[in-house]
Each structure stands twice: as C-alpha cells, then as structure tokens.
Homo-oligomer: A and B are copies of this chain.
Amino acid sequence: MSVKSAGRVIDIMNLLKDYPGGLPLKEIAAKLSLPQSSAFHLIQTMHSRQVLTMTERKQYKLGPKLIQIGTRALETLDVNTEAQPLLRELMEKVEETIFMAVLMEKELVYVAKVDNYRSVRTSAQIGMRKPLYCTGLGKAFLAFLPEAVSDNILSSINMEAITNNTITDPVVLQAQFPQFRAQGYAIDDEENETGLFCLAAPIYNAAGEMIAAVSVAGPKSRVSSRHSFIAEELLHTSKVISQRNGY
C-alpha cells in the first residue's frame, strides 16, 4: 500500500523542478489533478518546512531545504563517493572532462562531473537529466543493461534528432550494441552536442548489475585522435570503480 499524501509531496517536488519560476497553487493542483483544497494543505505543510518557498506573487518554488537534502543525496550515493578520486585521476590522465551518471526512469542523471582545465563547453551539469539514446553515457546503459530492460526502454522513448548525427532509429542504435559490448564501451559521435565525442563505460555492483556509467567527453578531433589511449584509461577506471563497489 502506498501513502497518498506522501506520494503527492513527491509529485509536487517533482513537478516544481520543471518550473524554475514557480507555480501558483491552482496550477499545481491542476497539473497533478489534485483537488485545490488537497493541494493547499500539502503545500502549506511543505512551505512551513522550507521545502517550498513562496514568491511575492504566491508562486511556489523548490526551497533551500532541498538544496541541502539534494547535496547530501549526491554525496551519499555510494558509487559517487567511491568514484570521485578515480574520476579525478582519469581526468588528469586523459585531460578531458569526465562524467558519471546513474539511470533514473528511462533517463540518465549526472552524478559527477570533473572538469578539465582545457574546459570544453558542455551543457551537462550535475543533477541534470538527459535522454539515453543520444548520449555516450545513455548508450552505455542501453548496450550494457540486460536486453529486456534495454528493449523496454527503447520501445517506450521518442528518439528526436538533437544534432545531425543523432540516431533516431532504434534498430540502427541497437546495431551498435554488439560492438560496444565487444570493446567494453559505448561511443557518442556528436549525437548530442555538435563537436563533442564521448567514450562511456559501464560500472557494476556486487550483484553484477549495472549501476552507473562513466564517460570521457571532449572535442571530436582531440578525443578521436587519442581514441585507444582514452578507451584504455576509461576501461581501467570503470573496472576499478566496479571493484570498489564489490564487483
């Protein structure tokens, strides 16, 4: 059994995350199909505990308490604490930006980013969600997750073109997986951001489940010319992180 009002608290936070400017009570109720009066009591409770803030115009937004909680969530993520120093090492070896992400509801969520000083302009930020089909990390999930899971995800997502290189046909995408599995890492060739080339490898836990993915991202010319060196370092790092997680 699930607790209705508890679920609604989560729904409200989840809704407001997509409205940086905030939403008024009425709209929150409408978008979640809640009676206004129900939404009222919930929002009041959340507001009084700093989970929500209210602007002068009675627009509700995510509050400062959630900054704290969210940061802790990031810090306590097992894979993250284990991985941080290793990701930093990897960055120093390959001299490109490193990302790590976990899977959430058919999308990936960045949980770590180690910037290279030769700063590449990538829009990705910690906490951000991105689709799976057009990112190195996402393709790593699709290729290395159990096929049933991967197929299920692929069959339920919409593959829009982001760049000229974005693969929009699930069959074409799946055709890449055997190679990814053979080499141990996935490739994103400007499929999400023009000019950006990524190698991404899976991370496993003690149960042998894929729990995260790590990637090296950089300008295509710079990365593809050092492809095999980067791949080697990436695979080494991802393997060590998996081991630290009991794999």
What residues make up the interface of A, taking CB atoms closer than 8 Å to B? 1-3, 5-10, 13-14, 16-18, 20-22, 41-42, 44-46, 48-51, 53, 55-56, 61-78, 81, 102, 104-105, 109, 111, 117, 119, 125-129, 206-207
Contacts and interface: CB of A to CB of B under 8 A. Distances in A.
A67 B104 contact: yes
Contact of A67 (B6, B44, B78, B127): B127
Given A5-B5, A6-B9, A105-B68, A76 B48 contact: no
A113 to B, nearest CB: 9
A107 to B, nearest CB: 9
A56 B245 CA distance: 12
B5 A68 contact: no
B68 A2 contact: no
A204 to B, nearest CB: 14
B104 A44 contact: no
Contacts of A117: 119
B1 A109 contact: no
Contacts of A53: 78
Contact of A68 (B6, B22, B41, B109): B109
B127 A45 contact: no
Contact of A71 (B21, B41, B119, B126): B126
A67 B10 contact: no
A67 B62 contact: no
Contacts of A81: 20
Given A41-B1, A45-B6, A104 B65 contact: yes
